[in-house]
Amino acid sequence: MRAPERSEIHDMIHGTGLSLGTARGAAMQFDARSAIGLADSLEPNTVPVDAVARFERALSATITQIDEIIEHGASRFADVVKLIFTAHRMMLEDPAYAGEIRKRISNGESPEKATATVTDELSESLSANHNERIAEKGEDIRDLGRRVLSNLTETANEGTFAHGRVVVLKSVFPSELLRLAIDGAAGIVLVGTMVTAHIGILARSLGVPVLSTTSDLALAIPDGSEVVLDATRGVLYPTADAAPPDTTVASSEGDAVEDRVESALAVSILANVNILADAYTARRYADGIGLYRSEFPFIIRKGFLSEDEQKDLYSYIIGSMPGKPITLRTADIGGDKLLDDDAAESNPFLGVRGIRFSLANREAFRTQLRAMLRAGIDTDLGIMFPMVSTVEEVQEAKDELVRCIEQLARDGIPHNGSPRVGAMIELPSAAIATSELAAETDFLSIGTNDLVMYMLAVDRTNARVADLYRTHHPTILRTIHWITARVGGAIGELSVCGEAAADPLMIPFFLGLGIKKLSGAPRRLRDMRRYVTALDERWCRDTARSMLAIRTIHEMDEYLVELESQLHELNDRVTDATSAAGGST
Ligand code: PEP
Ligand code: MG
C-alpha cells in the first residue's frame, strides 16, 4: 500500500470515539519509536567510564525510578501502576534481557547500542508471537528499553513519553493503553486496531479521549505537529487550524460537579468499575459498586496474580467507597487470555470462559475467592459469578466459596465470613433458569451486553454486525420481562449492569418492570441519577407495558422516536441525559 503523502492530510480524519472528549497537542507517532531510533537520536554519554559500570548504573537508576513509581504513583491509577511496573521490575531482573545486554557490552559494543539492539530484537520477537499474551510483553520491553536508554544518556525521561501529546498508534494492548494514560497522554488515536470488548471498556475508564479510525492517513501526520482530537464527534483534525473554532478542549465527559440528587423512585445507582480510576470517577454519584470486573488485573498483568497481590488490589477498590455495598465479580476471562497455546480455542466466546474457566482452574479460583474474602472484611461484600449457564455451576462455585471461608477461619486469617452470593444473567439458558438461580443466590444481575450478544447471535465486538446488535429488540425486552417475572420476592436484589442500564430509552422499561438497581459506567452516573429522579413510576410502568406489546423491530424503532420526544417533554433535565446517550458496547 502507498504511504499517504503529507500534503494529503489536511482534511479531517473520521473515526469512532471509544472514550469521549477533546484534546489538543503535538502528535506522537508511537510505532515509529524503536529503541534503535531513539538511541540514534540521543547524545552518547561522553564521560569515559567503564562501559559495563555505566550500564549497571543506568539499570539501577531505572530500578529506583520504577520503585518510586510503584510507591508514589498517582493514586487514581495506583492499581494499574502497581500491576504494570512490578512486571517491568521483574523483567529487568530477567537474564534474558539485562544479561544479554551485559554480554554484548563485554564484547565491545557501546551500552547504548547494546541496550537498543537487545530491546528491539527481544521486543520484535515477542511481538511476532501469535499468542497475544506473549506478544504484549514486547511492548513492555520497548517501554523498559526507552527508560534504560534515557538513563544511560542522562536525558530526561519525560521527553520520550507521551505527556501532553496526542498519541497515534497502530496496535494497542490493554497495558499499553494504560501506560499512555498514566504518562499523561492528552489523547489517543488507534489506527486500524481490532477493538476488543476489553479495550473498548478500558478506553472509557481512562478519562482520556480515544478515537478508533480505519484511516491510515493518521499515521502520516508528522511527529510533533499540533493536532486537535474531538473523540465526541469522531474526528481528528491533523492541523490545529483545521479544527472549527467551537472545538473546545475540555476534559472528558461527566467531570462537572453538581449536587447529588436523590431518586424519588428509590433506585440505587451503582458503578461498573474496571480499574481504580473508575471508582474515583464514580464515587460522588454512586451508591456502591454494582460490578467490579476482576479480570482486568489479569489482562493487564498478562497472567495470574498471587493471593496477596489480588487482595491488595481489591482493597484499593473496596477502600474507594467506604461503607457502601461492593460487588466483586470473579474473573470473566477465557483460557486464551491467560494460558499458553494449548488453551487456544477457535470460538472463545463459546468456550471455557467466566465461571467455566474458574471451575476448570480450581487453584486459581480459590486464590481469587480467598483474596476477595480477605479484602472484603467489614464490608457489605457481594461475590458474583459470570457466564453462568446452569444452576449446577452456581452450586459448585458456592461450595468452593464455603470451603475457602472454612479454610480461612481454620487458619485464623481475617476475612468476610458471610458475603452475599450472586450470579449474572447474561446467557439465554440462565435467563430461562431465573427461578432456580434466584433460589440459589442472594442476588442476580442482568448483563445486557452479553445477553444481547448470545440471544441474537451477534458478536458485540464485530462492527460488521453492529446494526443487528439491538438492546431494544422485542425478544430482548420479553426476555428481561421473563426474568423480572421469575425472580419473585427477590426483585429488590435484581440489578442491570450492562451498558443498557445507562440508556435513557431503556431505563423507563427497567424501572417499569420493578428493577431497583442500575449499575452503569462511572461517567454516566450523574446523568442516570438526574434522569431517574425526573421519572414517574406509573409512567414507567405504562411505558414498559407499551414496549412489551411491540412485536417487530420496525415498530420498535417508531416507538422509540415517539418515546424520545415524550422524554424531551417530560423534563428539561431529561433532555440532557437523552442527548448524552452513547452506543451499545
Ligand atoms: C454484560 O455482559 O452485560 C456485563 C456487564 O459484563 P461484561 O461487559 O463484562 O461482559
Ligand atoms: Mg458479560
DSSP letters along 302-353, please?
Answer: TS---HHHHHHHHHHHHHTSTTS-EEEEPP--BHHHHS-GGG--S-GGGSSB
Give the up-direction half-sphere exposure of residue 501: CA atoms within 13 A in the CB hemisphere: 33
Tell me the three cell numbers of residue 250.
475540555
CA distance 204 to 461: 15
- Find how far residue 17's CA is from the centre of its chain: 15
Chain centroid to CA 232: how far?
18
* Calpha distance 207→187 (Å, rounded): 9
Q: Indicate the domain borders of the chain.
A: 1-30+162-242, 34-156, 268-571
Homologous superfamily of the 34-156 domain (CATH): PtsI, HPr-binding domain (1.10.274.10)
Which ligand is located closest to the Cα atom of residue 471? Answer: 1
The DSSP bridge pattern shows strands 16-19 and 210-213 to be antiparallel
Name 422's bridge partners: 384, 443
Closest C-alpha to 127, from 145, 109, 147: 145
Q: What is the percent of the chain with per-residue pLDDT over 90, rounded to a whole number?
A: 58
What are the residues whose beta carbons fall under 8 Å from the beta carbon of 137, sequence distance 6 or more? 91, 126, 302
Q: Give nearest CA residue, ligand 1 atom 6.
A: 447
Return the residue whose CA atom lies nearest to atom 9 of ligand 1. 293
Q: So what's the pLDDT on residue 263?
A: 60
**pLDDT: which is higher, 372 or 569:** 372
Which architecture characterizes domain 1-30+162-242 according to CATH?
3-Layer(bba) Sandwich (3.50)
Output 136 or 468, whichever has higher pLDDT: 468
Closest CA to 526 of 577, 458, 585: 577
- Which atom in ligand 1 lies closest to the alpha carbon of residue 295? 9
Q: pLDDT (tens digit, 9 = 90+) per residue, 168-223?
A: 988 777 777 887 888 889 999 999 866 777 777 778 888 889 999 988 899 999 98
Place of cell 567503564: 50
* Most confident among 109-113, 270-274, 532-536 (mean pLDDT): 270-274
**What integer is the mean pLDDT of 339-359?**
86
Give whole-number Cα distances, 143 to 147, 175, 192, 206, in Å.
7, 11, 22, 19
- Please list the active-site residues: 198, 497
User: By three-state DSSP, how is residue 45 classified?
Assistant: coil
Largest CA distance in the chain: 83
256: exposed, middle or buried (C-beta count within 10 Å: 0-12, 13-18, 19+)? exposed
User: 77 Cβ partners below 8 Å, 6+ apart?
Assistant: 178, 181, 182, 275, 276, 277
Which of 137-146, 189-198, 230-239 is least confident?
Answer: 189-198
286: its cell numbers: 454512586
- The answer to whether the 34-156 and 268-571 domains have the same CATH topology is no
Q: How far apart are CA 112 and CA 45, in angstroms?
A: 9
Q: What is the pLDDT of residues 16-43, one digit of tens each?
A: 898 889 999 999 988 655 566 666 555 4
What is the three-class DSSP state of 416? Answer: coil
As given in the structure block, the three cell numbers for residue 574 are 431529561
Q: Shortest CA distance to 327 belongs to which of 367, 388, 376, 263?
A: 376
The ligand 1 atom nearest the CA atom of 446: 3
Ligand nearest to the CA of 329: 1
Q: If you measure from the C-alpha of residue 41 to the centroid of ligand 2, how many angstroms do you get, rounded to a whole number? A: 46
Question: Quick one: CATH architecture of 268-571?
Answer: Alpha-Beta Barrel (3.20)
What residues contact residue 287 under an 8 Å CB cut-off, 6+ apart?
268, 269, 270, 324, 325
Q: How far apart are the first and last CA of the chain?
A: 32
Local confidence band at 8 (pLDDT 50, 70, 90 cut-offs)? low
Give nearest CA residue, ligand 1 atom 4.
447
Quick one: average pLDDT of 43-71? 79
What cell numbers appear for 168 in the block?
A: 497515534
The DSSP letter of residue 128 is T
Distance from the alpha carbon of residue 497 to the mean position of ligand 1, in angstroms? 7
Please write down the long-range contacts of 119-125, taking CB distance under 8 Å and 24 or more positions apart. 119/35, 119/144, 119/145, 119/146, 119/148, 119/149, 120/34, 120/35, 120/36, 120/145, 122/96, 122/97, 123/35
**Is the whole model's pTM more than 0.75, yes or no?**
yes
Pocket test for ligand 1, best of 299, 357, 449 (most atoms within 8 A of CB): 449
